[in-house]
Structure 1
């Protein structure tokens, strides 16, 4: 019976300079051809970090453990960059008689190989944390320059320099929402009207209560830039002024019940 393998490939982020999925698959296919392994299946996760095990194709591969003799990866860090996940899932594969193999890293099939494999796991977890630190520092640097850092805010778009600019079509709804809240119209009423007029969330869902509620409480509309503790007044163009924002925060919604005859009470008002 021929030896069998499944290939697992992963790519963390389209912006990272890593081996692409196609390159990983090509190297792994060449390895299988050279070592005379028949490929049973290929599992690929796109733009998902190895620090998490919440990867659809990874979980499907683990669930199907036993369909092959080995799981082949381009390098061990493609399997996992989590300091705890790697040994857990390797053990689960081993319980089904499946061995994890790297196409580029020659791990000795000996007791010393255990040490080398654990070293690779540690290096992968360490590099992942260092990458996270470098990424965070880079984003903090961007925040000091008031870049969007990929944060979408209804009412704004981004320019080529990744700075916030006003999207006039959306900004009109923002100004209207504040005006109607100041006039004591309920959040639900505004949301229903916006949904009927085609306003959608960043996920493409019709506008709802939460969207309008966040809108009228978002100080960014006054031009205040905020990201990860970095705050800069005037760091982005204002859609409303500070007075309008404060007036909207002090409004208590009017009741919507059709019949509200409360009668006259002593000391009322």
Structure 2
């Protein structure tokens, strides 16, 4: 009785359960053996998701088993559905067939019969057969890659998870390979795309870093698609992904993006490239900076509010004495200055300027603010703020609901673990009371933090619902602002400035003023 080993192989894992693949190969081999009375199947080898062209014989575990079995005389016949199941490499597979035959193993295919090496012609036919298989594999690979490349360039979805901000929908077009399927494509998700816009707004317009954006989103109840809190790496990937300007990446030997697809665009190209410029500058120049609150002391009006335009560092303030001679003697004058902390004695990191005269720039900034606020109209400001308020209320309400759901899940876990404590004390649990106590303590800490977040957001919600009192307050303060400012003392002037602006960026003969969120929306586009 001849002992038969069968080898079944598919090159893709998706083929493992398909009717035309491994089950079909197995059934065909069993039917073939039925017609061989002196044959019996004693072993079956499976290669699931293994390419016979991409992987060499040395990388395939089942080939090693076959070699060892042949050397130990553990079988007499190797049976495959077709010889390309052994492999498709013209330089390796004929050698494997020769090895098996030389060790007394008959090599058979259900569809192609027996392979022999009794003559030079047999060896040549073996080589030609596997040379053809190798060529077919290369042609198939080229066709598949070209088809996927063309579909990718046309914007069709090629598998994987949709990036944050998008969802996958099924089109009416038939799949190029699987006729029972439809081609899928990415489209912006209505809710998540708003989150993407917010992230870019915070990064570019509010100049927040990755960590600050992460903290802001988590504190305000925003969550990822799977309900988890944001992490810094997620924000970084979002800010570096060109898909948000309609240029999806696809994998090639050299990398690349698809042609522009306006259906995918969520943000403007200008905003994306502004983010890229900020990212490159920070990568090369930013060091650890002072993150404390805005100081109210100091001789300069904008100390704590002034930042470097080139690296976004908070400017420090210092002074020097300049001596001048007069008729009545020597006079010492104090000169106050703004200075970028990343430039100590020399200009680098693309800084065109690193020191600004305090008196000169305080006057220039103040005059610019006065010009801006001279266009302020109370009623127009209140009307524009109303729409923004409504949107913020809606976002906060949704985020509070998300946090409440997370809190409810934590409380359920907490209750289950408290019940498990009783079982542990009776010796009926797989956990010790100490282990459960540690987990419960951590859960209680998370519950406390989550409750505090909800409480904070609820307070903000109540505040914003109180007839827009904070907007009305700011509006009243802005009426006749210049007159009130001129009459104020130094400390009150700084307080008034901090209500109006978030930051001031100084460059070479250049000033950029970042107004607070209400005013920036109100004045947007008026001074371009």
TM-score (normalizing by structure 1):
0.73
Shift of 1:85: 4.2
Which residue number in structure 2 is paired with residue 75 of structure 1? 82
Corresponding residue number in structure 2 for 1:131? 140
Gaps of 5+ in 1: none
Q: Secondary structure at the match of 1:237?
A: coil
* CA spacing shift, 1:89–1:200, aligned 2, 3 Å: farther
Matched, 1:30 2:31: yes
**2:236 maps to 1:213:** yes
Aligned to 2:200: 178
Q: What is the CA–CA distance in structure 2 between the aligned matches of 1:98 and 1:38, rounded to whole Å?
A: 14
Deviation at 1:74? 0.8
Tell me if 1:117 matches 2:126.
yes
2 CA distance for matches of 1:99 and 1:54?
A: 22
Q: Deviations over 1:183-231 (max 9, x none)?
A: 454446767977x976489xxx997665543331121111124545674
SS in 2 for 1:43: strand
Cα 1:211–1:69, aligned 2, differ >3 Å: closer, same or farther? farther
The 3-state SS of whatever aligns with 1:163 is: strand
Q: Does the aligned pair in 2 maintain the 1:223–1:236 contact within 8 Å?
A: yes
Q: Which residue of structure 2 lines up, in the alignment, with residue 157 of structure 1?
A: 167
Max Rg structure = 2
CA contact (8 A) 1:200 1:207 kept: no
Question: What's the secondary structure of 1:5's corresponding residue?
Answer: strand
Distance in 1 (CA, whole Å) between partners of 2:270 and 2:102 is: 65
| Higher RCO (CA < 8 A, seq sep 6+) | 1
Shift of residue 2 of structure 1? 4.0
| Post-superposition offset of 1:137 | 3.1
Change (3 A) 1:223 1:259: closer
The answer for unaligned runs of 5 or more in structure 2 is 172-183, 293-313, 319-340, 346-353, 356-528
TM-score (ref. length: structure 2): 0.41
Q: Is the 8 A contact 2:9 2:50 kept in 1?
A: no
Q: Summarize the Cα distance change of 1:257–1:125 in structure 2 as closer, same or farther, 3 Å threshold.
A: same
The answer to whether the 8 Å contact 1:5/1:71 transfers is: yes
Q: How far does residue 20 in structure 1 lie from its aligned partner after superposition?
A: 1.9
- Go from structure 1 to structure 2 and tell me whether the alpha carbon gap of 1:118 and 1:164 turns closer, same or farther (over 3 Å shift): same
Segment drifting more, 172-181 vs 99-108: 172-181
- In the other structure, the counterpart of 1:167 is 189
Distance change >3 Å, CA 256–CA 85, structure 1 → 2: farther
